[in-house]
Amino acid sequence: MTTQKLLYSLSTPGEVTRKVFTGLDGLCKIKADWGHVYQQIYRPRYYHHWDWMESYIQYLVDDPDSIQFIVFRSRGEPTTILPLQYLKNWRCCIPLSSLRLPYHKHLNISDFVCSSDAINEIYIEEIFHYLTSDRLLPRHSLLQMRNVPSVSPLADIMKKMASSYMALARQKRSAYFDCTNENALNCALPGRLKRNLRRIANKVTNREKLISEFVCDMDDLPKAYNIFVFLESSGWKGNSGSRTAIGNNFRLRQFYQSLITSFGERERCQINLLKMGNKYVAGQFCLKQGRRLYILKIGYDESYKYIAPGALLLMEVLKNSAKDKTIDAVSLTTAPEWANRWNPNLEDLEDIYLFSKSVTGIIGRAGMSAWMNLKNK
């Protein structure tokens, strides 16, 4: 697909204008606008931040120019930024050209960036009418938004706008723990889990000292990151297993390194480590945004799995966060099966598919409906 770095703008009757920017160059041009909108979000999350998007485009996207950024302005002020990627693929045996929110297996949650003042059904409806009908964008049969939090205004309003051309699927969840205070945390965690981990910790400390490290100082983060990468690649994800570890992929390693540089400068990157004697046995890569700590990746030395090092570290992180007056919640970002025994709170993530009224869009919608019906049986 051939696109210009900046496509022309168009006005709408409601004094709303829009411009389309392309690729990394386009993202850099709208940095100030992005920051302005970000400041207007009621509860911004890490995936709303400009730095997160920059790292994604630089290191995880094969073709940066496949990403377009639609900047909407109301009375001259930027109010909404929609990042969309153009691609051609097959869905339910139907060849579909589509626009989608940025998606990658290391981007567990996606959303658009919208000022809280701009959130209303009329405004969002106007945006999506533009997305499905305007000739400024590449011709597409499907607009797909995966892993959108159900609390996002995007998911909420889209569900209210549900039509025969839309498909909604609840695919995943995001788990988090209430850490507003120690009492709230203790009430939420199952007693049996706490007793088991206390027994394991006591057994270990009879032989070795357990030390938890919470690293957020910019000078110490590079060393902590190397330790974490080693731990994460020491098990089944490493050379002897699936080779999906960060340490086995240069671009992934650079992606997380860039997050340290950008978020770490504001003390918004944190790496947690558990040390048994002189040996590091578990680690977590985290970002902090607002009053929430997000655990993006975990790793542990599988030769020490008999002491459940990942669970011991998580418990220490939760306890430390409950004492930290700047943190109200700790998020696991995803909701892995092992987290069920911790009794976390859960947030739904929605998959939203909006099909065009073209022939391929209608066929694609019918195919997806059939697939979803079979899946739900």
- Provide mean pLDDT across the span 125-135: 66
User: pLDDT at position 10, please?
Assistant: 41
- Tokens at residue 52, please? 């997160």
Q: Which residues pair with 351 in a beta bridge?
A: 169
User: pLDDT at position 136, please?
Assistant: 55
Task: Render pLDDT for 296-333 as a digit per residue (tens, 0 to 9).
Answer: 999 999 999 999 999 999 999 999 999 999 999 999 99
pLDDT at residue 184 greater than cutoff 90: yes
d(CA 124, CA 116): 12
User: pLDDT at position 153, please?
Assistant: 76
Which residues in the chain are classed under CATH 3.40.630.30?
6-172+349-376, 180-327
pLDDT at residue 362 greater than cutoff 90: no
Burial class (CB in 10 A: 0-12, 13-18, 19+), 239: exposed
Q: Which CATH number fits domain 6-172+349-376: 3.10.450.50, 3.40.630.30, 1.10.1060.10, 3.10.110.10?
A: 3.40.630.30
CB 111 within 8 A of CB 351: no
Q: Which residues pair with 11 in a beta bridge?
A: 17
DSSP state of 117: G
* pTM of full prediction above 0.85: yes
CATH architecture of 180-327: 3-Layer(aba) Sandwich (3.40)
d(CA 54, CA 71): 16
> Percent of the chain scored above 90 by pLDDT?
57
